[in-house]
Structure 1
Amino acid sequence: METFRRPFGASLMIVIGIFQVVVGLTAIFQRAFYILAGSYLFGFSVVGWGWTHLALGVLLLLAGGAVLAGQLWGRVVGIVLASLSAVANFVFLPYYPLWSMLIIAADVAVIWSLTRYGREEAVLR
C-alpha cells in the first residue's frame, strides 16, 4: 500500500503544474477570460496572477519530476509548493471559483501523499 504514494503525489504534482501553467498563460494572454465582480481585498492585476500561476506551475513540474525520481528534496519542495499553490488559489477564488477549489483539493492530496510516503519505513527502523 505504501508504494503508490510517491508516484501518486508526483503525478498529481505534475498534473497540477500543467494546470497552473495553463491558468497562468490564459491570464497573461487572455485577460478578459477572468472577470472580477466588485472590489476585492487581494486585487492584483490578472496578468500578475498569471505570472504567479505560471511560476508555480513550472516549479511544481520540476518538483514533481524530482519526487518521481525519488529525490528527498523534491518531497520537501513539493510540500512547500503545494501549500503555496493552495494559498494562491484561495486568493484566486474570486477570479475562477470552481477551478480554484479543485486545485486546492488536489494540493491537499499532494501534501497528504508526500507527508505519508516513507512513514512505515521510518517506523520499522
Structure 2
Amino acid sequence: MADEAQGSPASAPHKGSGDGAWASGGTVFAGVLLLTEGILGALTGIAGIAKSDVYTRLGDYVFKFDLTTWGWIHLLLGIVVAVTGWGVLKGASWARGVGVGLAAVVIVLQFMWLPYQPIWALVSIALAVFVIWALCNDRGRTAAL
C-alpha cells in the first residue's frame, strides 16, 4: 500500500510551486516581452528609415552608424524578435533557445543605441536580462521535453 501511495500523482511534487511557478509564469511574460520588444523595435526601425533626423545623438559615442542603418537593424531584428516571442507563447521548442540568443543580441544592440534613446535602451537591457533568466529557468517545460 505504501508503494501505491508513492507512485500516485498526489505524492508527486507540484510543478506549479516555488521557483518553478515563477519561471513558468516568467516564460509567458518573457514571450510577451519578446513580442512587444520586437514590435516596438520594428516601429523604431521604420521611424529611423522614414525620417533620418527623428533621433538625435546625445554627445559623441564610439559606435556611429547612419540613422538609416540603425533603422534597418532595428526593423529586421524587431521582426525576428517578435516572431520568436510568438513562438515562445505558442510553446515552440526552438523559440526558447533562439529567444535567449536574441535577448543577448538585444542587450548589445541597446547598449550601442544608448546615445539615441538612453532611458529606453536601459529599460530594454533590463527586460532582456529578465527574458534570458526566465527562458533559462523554466524547469516545467524542460522536464516535459
What TM-score do the two structures reach when normalised by structure 2?
A: 0.77
The sequence identity of aligned pairs, in percent, is 35
Mind listing any 5+ residue stretches in structure 1 that lack a counterpart? none
Correspondence for 2:131 among 105, 110, 116: 110
Equivalents in 2 of 1:40, 1:72: separation in Å?
39
C-alpha change, 1:120 and 1:77, in structure 2 (3 Å) is closer
C-alpha change, 1:6 and 1:38, in structure 2 (3 Å) is closer
Runs of 4+ in 1 over 4 A off after TM superposition: 119-122
Letter in 2 for 1:47: T
C-alpha change, 1:8 and 1:94, in structure 2 (3 Å) is same
Q: Aligned runs of 1:19-98 on 2, under 5 Å?
A: 19-98=40-119
Mind listing any 5+ residue stretches in structure 2 that lack a counterpart? 1-20
Kindly provide the CA deviation profile for residues 30-88 of structure 1, in whole angstroms up to 9, marking residues without a partner as x. Answer: 22121124432110101101111111110011111111111121001111111101100
- Rg comparison, structure with higher value: 2
Equivalents in 1 of 2:110, 2:136: separation in Å?
21
RMSD: 1.7
Higher percent of residues as helix: 1
> What is the aligned length?
122
